Amino acid sequence: METKITLSATWVVVTLIYLYGDVLRICSGDFTKSMANMNFNQFVWLGIAVLMLIPILMVFLALMLPQPANRWANIIVAGFFILFNLVGLPTYSLYDKFLLVVSMVFNEVTIWYAWHWA
């Protein structure tokens, strides 16, 4: 299978894991509990939107970017999301920790495929 397709597929999986985690947080009531004392302004919400748009854009970019740029974009972005999720990992509930670990495994798979792309 072509590496571009594999990389794009890993970003689809990561995006769906993030969305599934959001749905579970809303359904379990964890979202409303955690947001009760927070008053975000529009710039914080914009930052959250940009952060969550990145994996969605990577689905497309993994298919469209030329190999050298594609390789490094996948390594850098997947590495960023591993670090980002590691920072927040201790604060989440058990199901969220599980989903984050699975997403980090797929980020590691992304890095491995991108790194070994000749």
For 37, 76, 77, 91, the CA distances from 95, given in Å and listed in that order, are 22, 27, 24, 12
Rounded CA gap, 63 and 24, in Å?
30
Query: Number of folded domains in the chain?
Result: 1
Q: What is the pLDDT of residue 36?
A: 61
User: What one-letter code names the amino acid at 96?
Assistant: D
For tokens 């969550």, the residue is: 52
Distance from C-alpha of 32 to C-alpha of 14, rounded to nearest angstrom: 24
pLDDT digit of tens for each residue in the chain (118 aa)?
799 999 999 999 999 999 999 899 889 887 766 666 678 899 999 999 999 999 999 999 999 999 999 999 999 999 999 999 999 877 778 999 999 999 999 999 999 999 999 8
Q: Where are the alpha helices (DSSP H) in 29-93?
A: 30-35, 42-64, 67-88
Give the pLDDT confidence score for residue 103 in this predicted structure. Answer: 97
User: Which residue range(s) make up the domain with 88?
Assistant: 3-115
